[in-house]
């Protein structure tokens, strides 16, 4: 069953686990929106539509031709993400409120887990780090990638509309951009005599929208990408649909887990482990697109 981390946090009765999940979600706007599919086993294999069956017009009495779609089988694996939070026993015993120092240590580790997943979501490359999953930059095909220029180029409203139109059917569920791109997009809208729409999103937060599409500003979308001869000065915009069969989904087994490892042998501390068997699947290549080479 697919659900977001926001929804999964509501279902747990474990207050520590709930606090960890809520911290993870708070640290990533992406994880507020991204639904997760529970995977049995170490990977999920699915069929991605490659070509549609042909259709034709017929006269009365014509012989009808059979046509079938073709599919590409894709496998997306789970990766092990996590970290340990150690609390010094001396500090734990002498701290005015012992639960606070433990909560701070665990929250800090949960924040790191959120950052690691979000970074891999965009930039993950299993060829560079075999322990990571492939992120959007590698997973989005060339046919769904639009360049601002051979060596990068300035963002325009036409380019934004084009990258939106690459997503089918309908509009994308979100546009994911860096802060620099958000500033440029706001300037373009002002220059055209319009402003980015502001509304309350599904979580009660004030949010920006472009043509009714939520803008998700994420610091893990780098402004130091390379395009052609423009080295380490470019950024990207991603247009996404979320959901199985239509776009992008996160993968997980067992959700985020919190384990009490206990007392350590080599130091006077108690360890709590946060782990997450997680991954990413692009179920439909038409549900994702990227505008690359955006210059400052």
| Structure tokens that stand for 278 in this block | 């997680």
**What domain count does the chain have?**
1
Q: Is residue 55 part of a domain?
A: no
Instruction: Tell me the pLDDT of the chain (296 aa) as tens digits.
Output: 577 888 877 777 778 888 888 888 888 889 989 999 999 999 999 888 888 788 999 999 999 998 888 888 999 999 999 999 999 889 888 876 766 788 888 889 999 999 999 999 999 999 999 999 999 999 999 999 999 999 999 999 999 999 999 999 899 999 999 999 999 999 999 998 887 888 776 666 678 899 999 999 999 999 999 999 998 999 999 999 999 989 999 999 999 999 999 999 899 999 999 999 999 999 999 999 999 999 98
Contact, 77 vs 279, CB < 8 A?
Answer: yes
Q: Which segments of the chain does DSSP mark as H helices, in order?
A: 5-11, 15-26, 29-33, 89-94, 98-123, 136-139, 157-165, 179-191
Q: Is residue 208 part of a domain?
A: yes
Whole-model pTM?
Answer: 0.88
Q: Is residue 57 part of a domain?
A: no
Contact, 88 vs 105, CB < 8 A?
Answer: no
Host domain of residue 256 = 2-49+72-294
Q: How far apart are CA 31 and CA 278, in angstroms?
A: 12
Q: Is residue 59 part of a domain?
A: no
Task: Give the burial class of 44: count Cβ atoms within 10 A of its Cβ; 0-12 exposed, 13-18 middle, 19 or more buried.
Answer: buried
Q: How far apart are CA 46 and CA 86, in angstroms?
A: 39
Q: Is residue 238 part of a domain?
A: yes
Q: Is residue 94 part of a domain?
A: yes
Q: Is residue 282 part of a domain?
A: yes
Q: Is residue 44 part of a domain?
A: yes
Q: Give the per-residue pLDDT at 139.
A: 93
Residue 229, CA distances (Å) to 115, 147, 222, 233 in order: 30, 13, 17, 10
Task: Report helix, strand or coil for 265.
Answer: coil
Supply the CATH number for residue 231's domain.
3.90.1690
């Amino acid at each position: 069953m697919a659900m977001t981390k926001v929804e999964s946090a509501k279902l747990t009765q474990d207050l520590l686990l709930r606090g960890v999940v809520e911290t993870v979600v708070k640290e990533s706007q992406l994880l507020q929106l991204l639904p997760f599919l529970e995977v049995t086993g170490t990977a999920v294999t699915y069929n991605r539509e490659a070509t549609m069956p042909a259709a034709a017009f017929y006269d009365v009495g014509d012989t009808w031709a059979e046509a079938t779609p073709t599919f590409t089988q894709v496998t997306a694996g789970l990766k092990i993400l996590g970290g340990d939070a150690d609390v010094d026993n001396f500090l734990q015993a002498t701290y005015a409120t012992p639960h606070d120092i433990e909560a701070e240590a665990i929250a800090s580790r949960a924040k790191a887990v959120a950052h690691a997943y979000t970074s891999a979501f965009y930039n993950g490359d299993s060829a560079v780090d075999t322990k990571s999953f492939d992120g959007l930059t590698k997973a989005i095909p060339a046919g769904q990638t639009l360049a601002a220029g051979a060596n990068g180029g300035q963002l325009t409203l036409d380019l934004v509309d084009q990258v939106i139109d690459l997503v089918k059917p309908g509009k994308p569920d979100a546009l994911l951009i860096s802060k620099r791109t958000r500033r440029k997009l706001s300037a373009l809208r002002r220059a055209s005599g319009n402003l980015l729409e502001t509304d309350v999103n599904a979580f009660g937060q004030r949010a920006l929208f472009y043509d009714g599409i939520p803008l998700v500003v994420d610091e893990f979308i780098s402004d130091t990408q390379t395009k052609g001869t423009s080295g380490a000065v470019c950024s990207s915009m991603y247009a996404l649909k979320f959901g199985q069969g239509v776009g992008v989904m996160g993968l997980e087994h067992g959700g985020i887990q919190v384990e009490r490892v206990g007392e350590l042998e080599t130091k006077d501390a108690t360890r709590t482990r946060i782990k997450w068997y997680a991954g990413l699947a692009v179920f439909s290549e038409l549900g994702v697109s990227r505008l690359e080479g955006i210059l400052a």
